Amino acid sequence: MRILLVEDDPLLQRSLAATLREENYAVDTANDGEEAIFKADNSGYDLIVLDVMMPKLDGWQVLDHLRPQNPTPVLMLTARDTVRDRVKGLDTGADDYLTKPFDSEELLARIRALIRRNAGQTRSVIEIGPLSLDTATREARVSGTPIPLTAREYALLEYLVLHQGEIVTRTELYEHLFDEEDDSYSRLLDVHVSNLRRKLATDLIETRRGHGYLIS
Amino acid sequence: MTSPTRPSRPFRPFQSLRWRIQAWHALILAAVLIATMFPAVHLARENMIRRIDDEIHRLQIDLMRSLERNLIESGKDEGGGPMFPQALIEHLLKKNTSPDTPVPESFQGTGPGYAYSSIRNTDGDILYQTANAPDGLVFQPVTKHRMPPTKRLVGKRREHAVSIPNGISIVIGRDITPDLDHMRTMTGIFAGLGLTVWLLGLLGGWWLAGRAIRPIQTISSTATRIAEGNSDERIDPSAMDSELAELSHVLNNSFDRLSAAVERQRQFTADASHEFKTPITILLSESQRLLKRDRAPEEYREGLETCRETAERMRRLAESLLILARQEDSPAAELRTPCDLSEVLAETIANHQPLAREKNLTLESDLSPAPCHGDPDALALLAGNLISNALDHGGNTTVTCATTATSIRLTVIDDGPGIPATDLPRIFDRFYRADTARTSSGSTHRGLGLAIAKAVAENHNGTLTASNRPQGGASFELTLPTRAS
């Protein structure tokens, strides 16, 4: 999953980005509203974490720009915690709203929930055939046996599972699994796909030549 | 209309304005009434006595005439003449009269208002006496020269005692019971009238005092409501007399100032807590992240460094907030010592040279002596904030200090990009950070620097303004009154 993190405070941005990357998200960052709009318009993200108080354009203006064409889920972060601000945020089109200071675990849980909801899944444990994927603990089990996966492998599997039934193109996978910090070596998609298939030892992941992959 | 939460005040009439007005009013009115009635009654009494005396005088004449007639009838006198002709006196001295001698009707009997008389000679022998004369009469002694008659009250009678030189001494009197009763009735009426007027006056006074007091009660209850939380309400002076309207205005002004101060404080607290939220989030986020898994020492070190930096940032923020609060609340007069702004500036500029060098900028000055009254530390803070602001967001900086007859002018200019027009009106607001000035944690005062500078300026009765120079760059100008003014 690829997340766009929009936060102007450099230290906070660094800390949150690190936190998210350690949770296997690919993270792009933006320092202000203008940069946020530029990146959101030009790339596909699974979620946008959007701070409200920013220079150049604030969070409200970014949200106004995104909606209604861009359906990417948006989680707003802000120090403003009056009920009025919360209502405004949710009514303007944010999907969730967290006030500072917040607990990182809560942020991560809400992100997971938003991504899950966007994929049409209501529970954190998704089962397809013998595969059971727990998105909260990031564990994969096949017929009950836990399968150890690397971060990239899990991310890839989760993306395919959440887009179950859809053909996911390689381009899309490149976009959603890697962020601007990744080097080209780690971007070898085929390596991750074949490793994943080997570990799962099932025929879950299908290849559609010329199109992409899918889990049906 | 006392508030239900306040204990009811104990009834202390001596402390109540209304009661005291009433008491004074009662006293004064009573004094006035008594001062009026008393002389009136006294005067009436005097008149009555005088009238009675006149009557007794006439009675005396009647008696003498009657005795004269008796004398004439007895054939012993020529008749006529003044009141005590010698012949009558001789007649009397010869004791030629008796109790049967006819007397005017008024001298008969002892009915109310009866008159009596008794005539004695120098030896005290009764020459003539009416049948109804009381006992114990006191006679005026007979002297060679005529003495004025003695007039006196004896019990319920009025008596005159007269003496004729070398002749007789007469006591003539009258019972004045009816007159005394009349007097008593009249006094009673006066007293009753006085009391009625007094009571009516009290009632009227009570009503008047109540009306005068009512606006005070209105003010009091309105002020209580305002103090208890209804901070937008104000006293309405329109229905009041000018003195109380003035008081209302004064109170309303105080409430306005109080409201503003409370609002400032509320805003301050909101701003302050707002500013702390991001650093706290950083600490939470970073520490939680570090603790999630085992890491290499280097990772821990980096994370802890972030935490330390953030904590530093919070410390500086707290410090700046305290400085600002102190500047905003302190009565500046306390810290007024004579100082020279140019000396303060020289020192501050020297302190900021390292910063300028670090940024490869120049920091120049052109100072002339500027004696003023103020707090040197606060002024140094003001100057320092302006200078570091110029170095951080402007460029090469120049500080000028000049004095005119009435004021001192300090100017800090830079050759940087200037202040965007949209930011200019709000540049001195607390926590306001212009977009281009979004800084890292290196900023000293975290958005409060200019707000602090402005507070210091105002505390010294000065003004601080910001503008853009025509040739580019920003200019901050501080005006202070000189020491003399």
Contacts of B288 in chain A (CB under 8 A): 19, 103-105
Domain residue extents for chain B: 33-181, 234-329, 332-481
How far is Cα of residue B417 from the mean position of the Cα atoms in its chain?
60
Mean per-residue pLDDT for B444-469?
85
Contact status of A55 with chain B (Cβ, < 8 Å): yes
pLDDT of the residue at B442: 41
**Closest CA in chain A for residue B310:** A11
Q: Dump pLDDT digits (tens) for B298-310.
A: 999 999 999 999 9
pLDDT value at B483 more than 80: no
Mean pLDDT of chain B: 83
Question: Model-level pTM greater than 0.90?
Answer: no
Q: What is the phi/psi pair of residue A102, to 5°?
A: -125, 165
Query: How crowded is the C-beta side of B345, counted as CA atoms within 13 Å?
Result: 26
A183: how many CB neighbours lie within 10 A of its CB? 7
Q: Which residue has the higher pLDDT, A47 or B210?
A: A47
CATH architecture of B234-329: Orthogonal Bundle (1.10)
**What value does the mean pLDDT take over residues B107-114?**
82
Instruction: Using alpha carbons, list the distances in angstroms from residue A164 to A161, A172, A181, A214.
Output: 5, 14, 28, 7
For position B269, what pLDDT does the model report? Answer: 80
Which of B281, B306, B435 is nearest residue A100 as measured by Cβ atoms?
B281
Q: Indicate the pLDDT class of residue B98, thresholds 50, 70 and 90.
A: low
Looking at this protein, which amino acid is placed at residue B482?
T
**In the 3-class helix/strand/coil scheme, how is B134-162 assigned residue by residue?**
CCCCCCCCCCCCCCCCEEEEECCEEEEEE
Residue type, A183: D
Q: Which has the higher per-residue pLDDT, A120 or B432?
A: A120
In angstroms, the separation between the Cα of residue A29 and the nearest Cα of chain B is 16
Q: What pLDDT is stored for residue A122 in this prediction?
A: 76
Distance CA A86, CA A78 (A): 9
Q: Chain A: give the shortest CA distance to residue B276, in Å.
A: 9
Please report which helix (H) or strand (E) contains residue A169, including its range: strand A168-169
Whether B28 has a pLDDT exceeding 50, the answer reads: yes
**Residue A111 to residue B168: CA distance in whole angstroms:** 141
Task: Tell me which of A11, A25, A49, A76 to substitute to probe the interface with B (most B C-beta atoms closer than 10 Å).
Answer: A11
State the average pLDDT over residues B12-25: 79
B310–A contact, CB cutoff 8 A: yes
Which member of A8, A19, A56 has the closest CB to residue B289? A19
A109 contact B CB<8A: no
Q: Does domain A2-118 have CATH number 3.40.50.2300?
A: yes
Contact residues, chain A, for B443 at CB < 8 Å: none
Confidence check: pLDDT of B190 > 50: yes
pLDDT exceeds cutoff 90 at B168: no
Q: How far is A176 from chain B (nearest CA, A)?
A: 23
Contact A15 B285 (CB under 8 A): yes
Residue B328 token pair: 């905003």
How far apart (Å, rounded) are the C-alpha atoms in residues A52 and B277?
13
Query: Contact at 8 Å (CB) between A73 and A59?
Result: no
User: Yes or no: is domain B332-481 CATH 3.40.50.300?
Assistant: no
Cβ-nearest to A102 among B281, B286, B309: B281
- Report yes or no for ipTM above 0.85: no
How do the pLDDT tens digits run along chain A, 216 residues long?
A: 899 999 988 999 999 999 999 988 999 999 988 999 999 998 889 999 999 888 778 888 899 888 888 889 999 988 777 788 888 888 888 899 998 899 999 999 999 999 888 887 778 888 888 889 888 888 899 888 898 988 888 888 988 888 888 888 888 888 888 887 777 666 678 888 888 888 888 788 888 888 888 887
Q: Is A84 on the interface with B (CB under 8 A)?
A: no
Please count the CA atoms within 13 angstroms of the CA of B188 that sit on its side-chain side: 6
How high is the pLDDT of residue B338? 86
> Which residues 118-137 on chain B approach chain A with CB closer than 8 angstroms?
none
Does the structure show a pLDDT above 70 at B10? Answer: no
3-class secondary-structure state, position B317:
helix
Say whether A19 and B288 touch across the interface (CB within 8 A).
Answer: yes
Check pLDDT > 70 for residue B434: no
B81 vs B102, more confident = B102
* Rounded Cα–Cα distance for residues B232 and B308 (Å): 45
CA distance B96 to B77: 13
B435 vs A: CB within 8 A: yes
Interchain contact B294–A (C-beta under 8 A): no
What pLDDT is stored for residue B440 in this prediction?
Answer: 37
Among B267, B274, B281, the strongest candidate for a mutation testing the A interface, having the largest count of A CBs within 10 A, is B281
Question: Is the Cβ pair A22, B292 closer than 8 Å?
Answer: yes
> For residue range B261-311, what is the model confidence (pLDDT) as tens digits?
788 778 778 777 878 888 999 999 999 999 998 999 999 999 999 999 999
- Could you tell me which chain B residue has the CA closest to the CA of A7? B278
| Residues found in chain B | 485
Give the A:B interface size as CB pairs under 8 Å: 56
pLDDT at B334 > cutoff 70: no
Q: Where are the alpha helices (DSSP H) in B332-434?
A: 341-358, 376-393
Per-residue pLDDT, averaged over B347-366, amounts to 90
Gap between the Cα atoms of B224 and B218, Å rounded: 10
Give Cα separations from B459 to A63, B64, B375, B455, B463 (angstroms): 43, 107, 10, 6, 9
pLDDT band of residue B333 (cuts 50, 70, 90) is low
Lowest mean pLDDT among A7-21, B33-47, B140-154, B468-482: B140-154
Q: What would be the CATH architecture of the domain defined by A125-215?
A: Orthogonal Bundle (1.10)
Q: How far is B282 from chain A (nearest CA, A)?
A: 5
Other C-beta atoms closer than 10 Å to the C-beta of A112 total 18
Mutation for testing the A interface, residue in B274, B283, B285, B314 having most A CBs under 10 Å: B285
Asked if pLDDT for residue B443 goes beyond 60, the answer is no
In this complex, do B438 and A8 lie within 8 Å of one another by their Cβ atoms? yes
pLDDT value, residue B84: 58
